[in-house]
Structure 1
Amino acid sequence: MTGLNLHLYPSAMLNESRLFRIGTSLQESGCFTATHLVGISGAGLPAREEIASGVVIVRIGTSADGASRGRLRRLLGLAGWMPRIFRRYGREKVSAVAAHSVWMLPLAWLLAVRTGAILVYNPHELETGTPNMRSGRKVVAQTVERLLIRKARIVTAVNQSIGCWYAERYAGVEPLVVRNIPRQEPASARLRERLGLSPEPFLFVHTGRLTAGRGIPQILAAFEEMSGPDDPMVVFLGDGPMKADVERASERHSHVHLLGPVPAHEVVDTIRDADAAVMLIDTESLSYQYSSPNKMFEALSASLPILSTPLEELQRSLAGMNTEAWRLGSVAELSEIAKLRTRADVAKFREEWPGLPTWDSEVAPLVSAVCASVGRTGEGR
C-alpha cells in the first residue's frame, strides 16, 4: 500500500455527499492505507468519525471556526485552521492530497510539495463563477486558480459544461468529468407512507437543501394555489435556512408537505413513489447556468421526470428524448403546467428514459487515474 489520501474542504463534513462518495471509492480501490476527509470542527461533533472502512472524517479547529459565526470570524478561523492542517499532515506519509474548493488549493499544493504527494483539484462547481464571487474576492479566487490549477496532476469537473469551461480557460487542463450519480440503498419507507398519503394524488418532490437560489418561494406560491382534490401536491425533502417558510406553508395548505432529510444513500429509494420532481435553479450566475444539482440526479435515478426551468446539463442528460412537456419557459408557468401533468406523461417519460449509470462506473476513470498516479493499480476494486 501507499500512504494517506487527504481531502480538504472547509466545512463541518455533515452532508458532503460528493466528497464522501469520492473518498470512499478511492479507499475501496486498495490504493491507500487510509482516507482522511479533513474539515472544520463544530459544537458537539467528534474530532474523528469513521464513515466507512478506512474512511475517516478528521475535524480540526474549534466551533468558533464555523460559518455561523460570520464572515470575519470564519476568515480568521480559516487563517488559523490551515496551518494546523499543515502541521498535522506535513510529516505524514501522504500519497494524494485533494482540494475540494479553490480556497483549499494553496494548502493542498503546499502539502503536496512537502510530502511528495500528487495534487488533485476536485471543485464541486464552477468555483470562480458562483454568486458570492464578486469584486476582490473573485479576483483573488481567479488568481489562485490560475496559478495553481496546472500544478494538479488530476482535475475533475462535476459535468461536461464545467469541464469544457475549465479546458477552454486553462490551456493544457483536461478535467475528468465525474457526475454526482447517487449511491443507492433501500429506504425504510417511501414518501407516501411517511406522509400518510394515498396513491391517488399526483405528487411532485423537491429534494436538497432549503436555501436561496432554488426557487423555493416560487414553488410554494404555485402549490399554494392548488385547492381541488385532483390538483397535484408537492413535498420538500430536506432542511436548511428556508425550512420555516416551508413549514408555515405546509401548515396552511394541504397541497404542500415537508419531510426532514434522510441519509443521502436513501434519497433515491425514498422518492421512487413520487410522480415527478420539480427543480427551479436561479441561472443568473455562470456556475448555476452550468450546474447539475444533486436533486437532478436523484430524480433521474428514481426515473422521475423533472419539471424544470431550462438547464443545459439536464437537457444533455435527456438527449434524444422529447421532454418539452416538462420544460418551463418561465417560473410563472409552474402552477398551470404542474396541473396539466398526468400519470400518462410520467409513463411516457419512463418508457423512453434509458437510466443513468451507477456511481461506481461513473467514478471509475478517476479511481484509475489516481491509482496510476500513486503507482498502484486499484486491485481492491
Structure 2
Amino acid sequence: MNNLHINLNELTNPSRVLKQTKSLTDSGIVKKLYISGLYKDGLDENYIYDDGRELKRFPLRSRKLSKNFFVQIFKYLEYCFKVYQFYKDKNIGMVNIHTLGLLPLGLFLKYMYKAILVYDTHELESETNGKKGFRKKLGKWMEKSLIKHVDMTLVVSESIADWYAKEYNIRRPSVIMNAPNKRELKVNNHFRENLGIRDNQIILLYQGGLMSGRGINLILDAFKARIDDKVVVVFMGYGGLEQDIKSAANTYHNIFFFPAVPPHIVLEYTSSADLGISLIEKTCLSYYFCMPNKLFEYAMAGLPVLVSNMKDMSELVVRNNMGAVVSDFSASGISQAVDNFLDQDLTNMKKNAYQVACDNAWEVQEQKMLAAYKNMFEQKGIN
C-alpha cells in the first residue's frame, strides 16, 4: 500500500519521521511513502529521499498572516485542503499523523481515502508545554473524541502509553522510543579542537533545542557562579535562548556555544564530550513522562548523564546506573550535582550508558514498530 505521513511543521530536523519511514519502506510494509509538511523560504518544496520516499512542503498563501486564533484556523484549513487535493489520486492506503492538531484531517482522510489511520504521537499531545486555557481544553476534548476512531496509536514512553490507555479507555499503545541507530563506541575531539578547550578540562554537553523548559538558564547560572574551570559546559543546538548562551560564552571562560549540526553527524560531536546533561523541567505532564531522544544520543556516545527527576527518564538512569539525578533543581544544586557526579565511577557509568543505548537502539525499536503494524494488519485481515 501507499502511505502518507502528515506533519504540521517544516521538517527541518525530522529524525524520528525519517527513521520510521525508512523502516516502513525497507521492510516492504508500504510500497510508496509520501511525507507532507509546511514550506518555508530557503527550504526545498520537493525532495526525494530515495526510491520509496518523497517529501512535499506546501506553501500557504495565508502563512504570513497574524497568529490570531481564528486566522490560525484559516491557515489550517488551507493546509488540509492542499494535502487532500495533492494526494487524492496517489492511492493512499494508510495515513500517519504526527501531532494532535492533525487528528481532524487524519480522520477526514481515513474516510475519504478509505485508508488506515495511525496516530504517531511524539509526546503526550494534549499535555504539552505552553498549552493552557481554552486551547488545552479544546485539544483534550478533540483527542478524547477522535482517538477511538484511530486504527493504531504509537507513543514514545511507557508512562505515556499507560496514560493514554487509562485516560481514554483504549487499547494500550505500542511504545516506540526515539532512539538513534546503533553505532560503534568511539571518541572524537571536535569541541576541544574547535573551541580551544584544554585536554584536562571535562566537557559537560547540553545538546538539543535551546528553549525554555529545558533548564538552560539554571545551567548558565550554575556555571557563571563556578570558580574553577575544571568542568566546562558546551551548548550545541539552536532556539530562542541561543543569544543568551552566546552572550554568556563571550563573558565566561567555562561556557561555550556550538551551532547545531545535521542529524546524520550529530553523534560524531556528542562523542566529543565527557558527560551529557538533560534537565527537562516539570512544566507539563508531557515533560514529566518524557523519554528524550537526546538521552539516548548521549548514551550511544558513551556519555554518563545528569538528568532532572522526570519520571521515565530518571528511572532509566537510576535503574541502569548510567548517571545521576539532580535532586535540588536550582543553580547551586546543579553545580553541586556536577561536583558530586565527578566523584562517581564514570568508567562504569560510561559502559552502562552505552549498553542501555544498544539495548534500546533504533534497530530494536524498529522491530517493535514493525510488529505493531503487522499485528494491526492481521486484525484487519490485510495481507
TM-score between both structures, scaled by the size of structure 1: 0.90
- Residue 130 in structure 1 maps to residue 131 in structure 2: no
Q: Percent of pairs identical after alignment? A: 26
SS at match of 2:345: helix
1:221 aligned residue = 221
Show structure 2 runs of 5+ residues with no match: none
Instruction: Verify the 8 A CA contact 1:210 1:216 in the aligned structure 2.
Output: yes
Instruction: Verify the 8 A CA contact 1:191 1:271 in the aligned structure 2.
Output: no
Name which of structure 1's ranges 286-295 and 74-83 shifts more when overlaid on structure 2.
74-83
Instruction: Verify the 8 A CA contact 1:305 1:326 in the aligned structure 2.
Output: no
What one-letter code is carried by the residue in structure 2 that aligns with 1:110? F
Instruction: Verify the 8 A CA contact 2:165 2:173 in the aligned structure 1.
Output: yes
1:83 aligned residue = 81
2:237 aligned residue = 238
1:198 aligned residue = 198
Deviation for aligned residue 1:254: 1.3
- Residue 70 in structure 1 maps to residue 71 in structure 2: no
- Residue 310 in structure 1 maps to residue 313 in structure 2: no
Counterpart pick for 1:180 among 145, 162, 178: 178
Distance, in Å, in 2 between the alignment partners of 1:300 and 1:334 is 20
Distance, in Å, in 1 between the alignment partners of 2:80 and 2:361 is 35
C-alpha spacing 1:42/1:323, structure 2 compared with 1 (3 Å): closer
C-alpha spacing 1:218/1:52, structure 2 compared with 1 (3 Å): farther
C-alpha spacing 1:295/1:84, structure 2 compared with 1 (3 Å): same
SS at match of 2:356: coil
C-alpha spacing 1:347/1:90, structure 2 compared with 1 (3 Å): same
Distance, in Å, in 1 between the alignment partners of 2:210 and 2:306 is 18
- Residue 294 in structure 1 maps to residue 297 in structure 2: no
Deviation for aligned residue 1:237: 0.8
Distance, in Å, in 2 between the alignment partners of 1:239 and 1:127 is 23
C-alpha spacing 1:343/1:262, structure 2 compared with 1 (3 Å): farther
Instruction: Verify the 8 A CA contact 1:207 1:238 in the aligned structure 2.
Output: yes
- RMSD, aligned α-carbons: 2.6
- Residue 320 in structure 1 maps to residue 323 in structure 2: no
What one-letter code is carried by the residue in structure 2 that aligns with 1:243? E
Distance, in Å, in 2 between the alignment partners of 1:132 and 1:248 is 26
Name which of structure 1's ranges 233-242 and 260-269 shifts more when overlaid on structure 2.
260-269
Distance, in Å, in 1 between the alignment partners of 2:204 and 2:55 is 35
Distance, in Å, in 2 between the alignment partners of 1:127 and 1:37 is 20
Show structure 1 runs of 5+ residues with no match: none
Matches for 1:357-376 after TM superposition, within 5 Å: 357-371=360-374, 373=376
Instruction: Verify the 8 A CA contact 1:41 1:61 in the aligned structure 2.
Output: yes
Name which of structure 1's ranges 317-326 and 330-339 shifts more when overlaid on structure 2.
317-326
C-alpha spacing 1:18/1:56, structure 2 compared with 1 (3 Å): same
What one-letter code is carried by the residue in structure 1 that aligns with 2:129? P
2:208 aligned residue = 208
Name which of structure 1's ranges 216-225 and 127-136 shifts more when overlaid on structure 2.
127-136
Deviation for aligned residue 1:348: 3.1
1:21 aligned residue = 19
TM-score between both structures, scaled by the size of structure 2: 0.89
Does 1 or 2 have the higher relative contact order (CA < 8 Å, sep 6+)? 1
Offset from partner CA, 1:178-208 (integer Å, 9 cap, x none): 0110136699963333323232101100000
Aligned residue pair count: 374
Distance, in Å, in 1 between the alignment partners of 2:197 and 2:87 is 51
2:54 aligned residue = 56
SS at match of 1:18: helix
